[in-house]
Amino acid sequence: MELAEAVAQAVPASGVVAHKTPRCPLLVVEAASALDVLRFLRDDPSQSYKMLTDLTAVDRVAGQGQIEVVYTLRSLEHGKLLIVKAAIPADNPVIDSATGLWHSANWAEREVWDMFGVHFEGHPDLRRILMYEEFEGHPLRKDYPVDRRQPLVEERDVINDPWPSRDGL
């Protein structure tokens, strides 16, 4: 059975559309069913995409109103690579977290939240990972102003206190 057909049969609400790319297959799915599609791809023995190798986002064009969340999966058992994309609205960028499926999604989702503002529903610790806490906005969004000035913050002692607690303890 073709991959897109298998996904459509297992997750009817997926709205899956398959594309051929030079490197590997690409599936575009509905954001609301992305987690179910990912679970199927991981757990179905004929697929066995047990490894999440990358999770990122793409904000292609300002004003289009969509951000694509991109998952790169690998099946070591079958020697296959697969990309899964789900588009979410830029004005309300929310999608379910994949941390329950792959622990490797944890930091990748934090990075996507930090850089693009995508909120991963159910993520255990969604907070900034690259930018400092007081940073305003998400710098990889196309609508982020290039000349934006950020609030000044006190200098931190990164040697003696590299991970200052948020509650002052």
Q: How far is CA 85 from CA 16, 33, 71, 153, 155, in A?
A: 10, 11, 6, 37, 40
- Total-model pTM: 0.87
Q: How many folded domains does the chain comprise?
A: 1
Q: Would you say residue 146 lies in a domain?
A: no
pLDDT of residue 16: 95
Does the residue 49 lie in any domain?
A: yes
Cα 6–chain centre separation: 23
CATH number at residue 75: 3.30.460.80
Q: Yes or no: say if 15 and 29 are a contact pair by the CB < 8 Å rule.
A: yes
pLDDT of residue 165: 62
Question: Which one, of 117, 161, 152, 107, lies nearest residue 134 by Cα?
Answer: 152
Domain assignment present for 117? yes
Q: Does residue 94 lie within any of the structural domains?
A: yes
Q: Does some domain include residue 14?
A: yes
What's the confidence (pLDDT) of residue 50?
97
Instruction: Write down the pLDDT at residue 149.
Output: 82
Residue 152 domain-assigned? no
Residue pLDDT, tens place only, 34-43? 999 999 999 9
Q: Is residue 89 part of a domain?
A: yes
Q: Spell out, as residue ranges, where the chain has pLDDT lower than 50.
A: 169
The CA distance from 134 to 155, in Å, is: 12
Chain segment 143-152, per-residue pLDDT in tens = 888 887 877 7
Is residue 165 situated within a structural domain?
no
Which structural domain, as residue segments, surrounds residue 88?
A: 3-121
Question: Any bridge partners for residue 96, and if so which?
Answer: 121
